[in-house]
Amino acid sequence: MDAPETVICRLTVNGDRMECAVTPGTTLLEALRYGLGLTGSKQGCDKGDCGACTVLVDGHPVLACISLVLAHEGRGIRTVEGLATKGIPHALQDAFDRTGGAQCGFCTPGVLMSACALLERNDAPTRHEIAEALSGNLCRCTGYTKIFEAVELAASEMRERA
Amino acid sequence: MSEAGNKSSADPKDAMAIPKGRVMPRPDRLSPPVWEGGRTAPPHGEFRTIGKRNRKVEGLAKVTGRAIYADDISLPRMLHAKLLRSIHAHARIIAIDASQALAIPGVHAVITGKDLPTYFGIIPWTEDEQALCEDKARYVGDAIAAVAADTEYLAEEALRRIKVEYQVLPIVHDIDTALAHPEWQVNEKASEGNLSKHVHLEFGPVDDLLGASDVVVEGDYWYEGNTHAPIEPHCCVAEFDATGLLTMWSSTQVAHYLHRDLAKVLGLPTQRVRVIQPVVGGAFGGKSEPFSLEFCAAKLSMLTGRPVKILYTREEVFYAHRGRHPMRMHYRTGITRDGKLTGTDARILIDGGAYSSFGLVTTYYSGQLLTAPYAMPAYRFDSTRVFTNKPCCGPKRGHGSVQPRFAFECQLDKMSEAIGLDPIEVRRRNFIGPDTSTVNGMRVTSNGFLDCLSAAERASAWKDKFRKLPYGRGVGVAGSMYISGTNYCIYPNEMPQSAVQLKLDRSGRATVFSGCSDIGQGVDSVLAYIVCEELGLELRDVRVLAADTDLTPVDLGSYSSRETFMVGNACLDAARHLREKIAETLAHVWGCGKGEVVLADGIACATSDPTRCVMSVKDAFQAAEARHGTLGSVGWYQSPQLGGDYRGGTIGASPAYSFTAHVAEVECDPETGIVHVKKIWVAHDCGRALSPVAVEGQMEGSAYMGFAEAILESGTYKPAAAGHPHGLHHGPNLLDYRLPTSLDTPELEALIIESVDPEGPYGAKEAGEGPLHPSVPAIANAIHDALGIRCDALPFSPPSVLRLLRASDARASWERARAGLQRDAVRA
Amino acid sequence: MPARHGNARAPGCSAMRCEPDVLTLPLYQWLRPTSIDEVLRVLAEHPGECLLVAGGTDAVPNMKHRLHEPRRVVSLGGVRDLHFVREDDAGLHLGPGLTLRELAEHPRVRESLPALARAASLVASPQIRNMGTLGGNLCLDTRCTYYNQTYFWREALGFCLKKDGLLCHVVPQGKRCVAAHSSDVAPMLIALGAQVEIASSTARRTIAVEDFFVGDGVHNNVLVPTEMVTKVWVPAASFGMEMAYQKLRPRGAIDFPMLSVAVAARREGDSIAMVRIVVSALGAKPRVIGQLDALAMGQIPDEALFERVGAVAHKQCHPLTNVPYDHEWRHEMVPVFVRRALRDAFGKA
């Protein structure tokens, strides 16, 4: 059978320039998880229905499991591994930990990326705005309540710090 | 559990008699140590960690993406395996030819049913599954063969080249077909036809009491099947090494049972199998038994000498299933004019899918778990589980009892309406109370149900809303009970159900080793909190190492809401043993009484002279180690002998029961039938909230999941049509199977009630499953308050609500319900 | 290896080739042109072999399901001249490369064509709107409960008329695929009288969006394999019309429309001078409701009229079992959602 054509893909992930051998059929999620060892982004449905694979591309949340990696050369990719600064958790990460926003934790990396994009354009979102921003991220554990509380807590702390 | 097998079903006539040959619990059953002051009180006057809003031990690993789940594991030379699945719902396998698959370079091994012929099953009396079907496929998606290859792409290609010759058989697609066509036998292990299990139990003079009731309400209910859908799909990695040790990393919630079944099916000595549970991305009962992937990965690793990973696709997760059983239920319940329950008579038919899974227990639970929080003078249930050609149902959060609870709480609402009483008041009047026994012989100890009712009533402003909101809006109430673990292991033995080994290090660190299974509910953290509380440590100085069968003592796993109660108790005992040693040492050093020694916030001191008698906990550990030798301890939990004295009387017996009451508020659109659940007030008696954040999380998550089942989710199958037969899943993906998004989920308010159970660790009981139950009937009852219709079939989708509105004069019954409240009872 | 919270990661981070994920993609050649001309040249050189992929939110899942098995995937992400918003006297010219979020948030679109912004904002989820494009939504493959499934599921079904099989499972005797048109923006564009520019390497043509679609679910638009959409043009005449978009879906996000209604109307004085209603998620093309001129022209837009219009729409629309939600109920919802859209449009909500 035909072997898929392998090419080197150059990606900028969390500010780092990285290289990874891929085929044209490799998704961004596969490249991150299996090519670059960035296993923080998760795969839940593998076809764009659940949001566990959400990463930021040029600041906007996208679904890495249905993104073709070769279309992402030259773009700024941010994953959950890139949220903390020098090992200090991002305010969102800290808030999720304190409020119980992560139970099983599998949807959490994706939720965090959607929430991060939200807070970067709206530092005081209403609960409805949070729900809108996270409406593409399915959580099966929390009933979303503690996730909302976590985002609100992080937003208020980030406002205080700013 | 003491059950002779699924080949027999209890004879209605001698249901109360003890059958011959029943294995009675041994009188010398282990019992946990008794502590002075009991196990409910704080060890040092007041709680310092317990009951506080602490972080979870693995929380930061999860939020930073560092937590390692099964699919995050990658081993050198690892192969990827895929399963070939049946495209037929029911077909004999005549021949399998894998030669073309094996011919592909990069394909390393192909296995079929003949390679793993041993039957297994979570319940030892109903072992009716094979890792790969040997003779027959029983549902669309049943596994037939497995391929290990360099890549998944190659494995997939290889699957396409395996030729399977099938002989298609008639399909049993529902309960009626299963009963009408016993000759179309789905599962050859069934005693007869398509019967999986039949239970008939009767307690008290049901017919007499029904006959003497002022009101008898009769109703038919349908609970649609649905599934767990954890966001993490099942995944495992198997590595068989040169020494003959099989290591299995699996996203399981029952490492111990998986350990046993792997050894059995693979023909390995149990001591040469090691099961490790990595971080699990949600389970809800969907990962509580072994699955094809684990056996196949292990076998393929043994054949190839390389590690093998299998990751299920989302579609395969739907086929692995073990979700909520569809149940068709008929209830006849009676009540007196002054609101006292009389008799309850239930007939339940259960669609089990193709295999048994926990079905024997499910069938019992469908009846046994209904007998509190209300006193039932007489109760009869007759439950039958049948096999059908669909993915196997099993234990989903609230195993077996969510469906009958829905029916019964709706019955209660109808009866309350019939006698013109507030449904909360009727529930109060029938409260069974604490320290009592249910009609079916279950011991009830702590019981905070009345407080739950009051809390939900108050928080929801019930009195201002019930029968008072404008048409389209309404409130509904429901209650429930659930077990905190079962009193027996799934396979008969008298060993502890849970255990902890605790190691204290002279560095000042404690390490907890336990076989318990954290699936997101936070049991690892509970262990850490208990150790902190007992030994005065900071949370960061306790490490929990769990669910690794080589390193940790057995805990049966995360099911039946057993973890906090059982492993919590085991941990409390282990920690207390060491605390005693340290206190004894310090009493010796300081010349004070043992009772004066306090360990708190990293400091040890004597209350009599805290300025002189003080040192760090770390120094205290060292002093104790010098005096007693290396510091380690064990704790274990075994429940007391419980249960009714009749066949099946131990099933449903639990050392403690949790209680819940919900009020749901809905806003309905009579033009479309769309029901918007605005809010659910969730009041739950968890004994004591060891971790309020985790308890609230369980309450909110449970209520969410109940809401989802009530309104959105249904695991249905395509009707047969020209061109395709029965048996196709409606849409095995997360687009067609609709989990609620953040925009759909109602506001959830958790109201923790603490009844302080005498036997729970610090008084704790379960919180993970109980709070799901009332969501569904509370919403149904709220829809009635809003629209005047009775939603007796799930889900309450817009089409079904609209049909109900059309089918009757809903507005008139809505008016009647309002007028009827507090009027004299009218005999139905 | 540590049991749970340790760094249980074996080598592999330096990565050789990425192992394919669980739902693999077919083998294809990857092309990334940077201009429209280059895209058209590729299409002309390899007619019938190319799949154009912009956001990939429809194409990639479909490829994973082996619904599309192209020899070549042409990525449009680098084609800058597909990405624009221009306004002139003729109206608003929208590049098909605009993401749905950009369309929904664009100030000119929100101001002059609020219902189009609304339709775009109701597509799926925030992530999908960040990825998916106007052109992609317009050219969205038709959807059917018997089609948008894995290869395995479709094999168990015995495949269907649209892909790999001979039989339609929605209309058993049917010879024509009835998979549902599921775009959110298309019905609104039709209601607004928008036009679409189509180019090949040899020609360019502009047609009404209404005429862009054909009633064949296998391929429900007029594009031939050498063509692509290069512009969407909404005429200035539609600015300031009374307009609304109503979408019926089981959840507040993610879902495709189970039914969609787009309304655009013009008022003269108190009465209606023009009204167009488009209903979709029925069959392969959006349905423009007929007989409205006779019914609504010169009428006062009130409840009684909305009621009559709804009844007409109910007669003309026939939801099928292609969309995975009760078709009889969806039929009943046609007049309800038509009335709601009319109320929205005429500010009577």
Decide if pLDDT at B5 tops 60.
no
d(CA B15, CA B64): 55
Q: Respond yes or no on whether the N-terminal peptide bond of residue B795 is cis (omega within 30° of 0).
A: yes
**C189 contacts: CB under 8 Å, gap ≥ 6:** C116, C138, C196, C209, C232, C234
- Identify from C125, C148, C249, C255 which residue to disrupt to test chain A contact, counting A C-beta atoms within 10 A and taking the largest count: C125
Give pLDDT tens digits for B557-602: 999 999 999 999 999 999 999 999 999 999 999 999 999 999 999 9
Q: Which two structure tokens, joined as six digits, stand for A29?
A: 């999620």
Tell me the three-class secondary structure of B454-468, residue by residue.
Answer: HHHHHHCCHHHHCCC
With residue B101 as reference, give the H or E element that holds it. helix B99-102
Decide if pLDDT at B14 tops 50.
no
Round the average pLDDT of chain B to a whole number and report it. Answer: 95
Q: Is C164 on the interface with B (CB under 8 A)?
A: no
Q: Which two structure tokens, joined as six digits, stand for C246?
A: 């109503």
Question: CA of C338, closest CA in chain A: separation in Å?
Answer: 25
Evaluate whether A113 touches A78 at the Cβ level (below 8 Å).
Answer: yes
Question: CA of A78, closest CA in chain C: separation in Å?
Answer: 14
- Identify from C4, C5, C13, C21 which residue to disrupt to test chain A contact, counting A C-beta atoms within 10 A and taking the largest count: C21
List chains adjacent to chain C, taking adjacency as at least 3 C-beta pairs closer than 8 Å: A, B
Residues 82 to 101 of A: which have CB under 8 A from any B CB? 83-84, 89, 92-94, 96-101
Between chain B and chain C, the number of residue pairs with CB atoms below 8 A apart is 145
Please judge whether A100 and B56 are an interchain contact, meaning their C-beta atoms are less than 8 angstroms apart: yes
Q: Is A158 on the interface with B (CB under 8 A)?
A: no
Please judge whether C17 and A35 are an interchain contact, meaning their C-beta atoms are less than 8 angstroms apart: yes
Q: Among B6-15, B261-270, C175-184, name the one with the lowest average pLDDT.
A: B6-15
Decide if pLDDT at A29 tops 60.
yes
Evaluate whether C34 touches C79 at the Cβ level (below 8 Å).
Answer: yes
Name which of C10, C20, C172 is nearest B75 (Cβ-Cβ): C10
Which residue numbers in chain C have pLDDT < 70?
Answer: 1-22, 349
Exposure class string for C301-335: b at 16+ Cβ within 10 A, else e: beeebbeebbebbbebbebbbbbbbbbebbbbbbb
The residue-averaged pLDDT of B449-455 equals 98
d(CA A61, CA C132): 12
Which amino acid would we find at residue A39?
T
Whole-number percent of chain B with pLDDT over 70: 96
Residues paired with C180 in a beta bridge = C143
Give pLDDT tens digits for C293-307: 999 999 999 999 999
Decide if pLDDT at B446 tops 90.
yes
pLDDT of residue C348: 75
Decide if pLDDT at A12 tops 70.
yes
Residues of B in contact with A89 (CB under 8 A): 60, 63-64
Please judge whether A148 and B742 are an interchain contact, meaning their C-beta atoms are less than 8 angstroms apart: yes
Decide if pLDDT at B9 tops 70.
no
Q: Which two structure tokens, joined as six digits, stand for B5?
A: 């097998």
DSSP string computed for B157-209: HHHHT-EEEEEE-----SHHHHHH-TTS-S-TTSSSTTEEEEEEEEES-HHHH
Give pLDDT tens digits for B325-379: 999 999 999 999 999 999 999 999 999 999 999 999 999 999 999 999 999 999 9
pLDDT of residue B26: 59
Evaluate whether A39 touches C38 at the Cβ level (below 8 Å).
Answer: no
Decide if pLDDT at A18 tops 50.
yes
Q: Which two structure tokens, joined as six digits, stand for B121?
A: 């099953």
Residues of B in contact with C150 (CB under 8 A): 313, 315, 732-733
d(CA C221, CA C284): 9
**What are the Cα distances from residue A129, in Å, to A124, A143, A151, B79?**
9, 17, 11, 44
d(CA B327, CA B366): 9
- Identify from A7, A20, A47 which residue to disrupt to test chain C contact, counting C C-beta atoms within 10 A and taking the largest count: A47
Instruction: State the burial class of residue B798 (Cβ atoms within 10 Å of its Cβ: 0-12, 13-18, 19+).
Output: buried
pLDDT of residue B488: 84
Q: Which two structure tokens, joined as six digits, stand for C308?
A: 């009559």
Please judge whether C60 and A61 are an interchain contact, meaning their C-beta atoms are less than 8 angstroms apart: no
Question: CA of B721, closest CA in chain A: separation in Å?
Answer: 28
Residues of C in contact with B733 (CB under 8 A): 149-150
The residue-averaged pLDDT of B702-727 equals 95
pLDDT of residue B23: 46
Decide if pLDDT at B461 tops 80.
yes
d(CA B42, CA B71): 41
Relative to beta strand C50-53, strand C91-94 is unpaired
Question: CA of C11, closest CA in chain B: separation in Å?
Answer: 7
Evaluate whether A79 touches A55 at the Cβ level (below 8 Å).
Answer: yes
The residue-averaged pLDDT of B474-482 equals 98
The pTM score is: 0.96
Please judge whether A70 and C32 are an interchain contact, meaning their C-beta atoms are less than 8 angstroms apart: yes
Name which of B63, B69, B230 is nearest A112 (Cβ-Cβ): B63
The residue-averaged pLDDT of B73-100 equals 98
List chains adjacent to chain B, taking adjacency as at least 3 C-beta pairs closer than 8 Å: A, C
Find the residue in A nearest to C127 (Cα).
Answer: A62
Please judge whether C18 and A70 are an interchain contact, meaning their C-beta atoms are less than 8 angstroms apart: no
Question: CA of B67, closest CA in chain A: separation in Å?
Answer: 8
Evaluate whether A113 touches A55 at the Cβ level (below 8 Å).
Answer: yes
Residues of B in contact with C251 (CB under 8 A): 712, 738, 740-741, 743-744
Give pLDDT tens digits for B516-529: 999 999 999 999 99
d(CA B788, CA B782): 9
Evaluate whether B542 touches B532 at the Cβ level (below 8 Å).
Answer: yes
d(CA B566, CA B555): 9
What phi and psi, each to the nearest 5 degrees, are found at residue B630? -50, 135
DSSP string computed for C101-159: HHHHH-HHHHHH-HHHHHHHHTSS-HHHHHH-BHHHHHTPPPB-TTTSS-HHHHHHHT-
Please judge whether A66 and C75 are an interchain contact, meaning their C-beta atoms are less than 8 angstroms apart: no
pLDDT of residue C11: 30
- Residue predicted with more confidence, B488 or B751: B751
Residues 37 to 76 of C: which have CB under 8 A from any A CB? 53, 56-57, 60-61, 64-65, 73, 75
Decide if pLDDT at B704 tops 60.
yes
pLDDT of residue C2: 33
List chains adjacent to chain A, taking adjacency as at least 3 C-beta pairs closer than 8 Å: B, C
d(CA C89, CA C132): 28
d(CA C338, CA B533): 63
Residues paired with B199 in a beta bridge = B383
Name which of C77, C127, C252 is nearest A51 (Cβ-Cβ): C127
- Identify from B55, B58, B64 which residue to disrupt to test chain A contact, counting A C-beta atoms within 10 A and taking the largest count: B64
Question: CA of C144, closest CA in chain A: separation in Å?
Answer: 16
Look up residue B374 and give its DSSP letter.
Answer: B
E-assigned strand segments in B686-760 = 747-753
Please judge whether C21 and A30 are an interchain contact, meaning their C-beta atoms are less than 8 angstroms apart: yes
pLDDT of residue B572: 98
Evaluate whether C183 touches C135 at the Cβ level (below 8 Å).
Answer: no
Please judge whether C251 and B61 are an interchain contact, meaning their C-beta atoms are less than 8 angstroms apart: no
pLDDT of residue B823: 53
Which amino acid would we find at residue B129?
E
DSSP string computed for B473-523: EEEEEEEEEEESS-SS-SS---S-SEEEEEEE-TTS-EEEEE----SSS-H
d(CA B801, CA B795): 9
Q: Is C294 on the interface with B (CB under 8 A)?
A: no
pLDDT of residue A3: 61
d(CA B283, CA B299): 24
CA-based R_g, chain A, Å: 16
DSSP string computed for B767-808: -SSGGGTTHHHHHHHHHHHHHS----BS---HHHHHHHHHHT
With residue C332 as reference, give the H or E element that holds it. helix C327-345
Q: Which two structure tokens, joined as six digits, stand for B284?
A: 């809800």
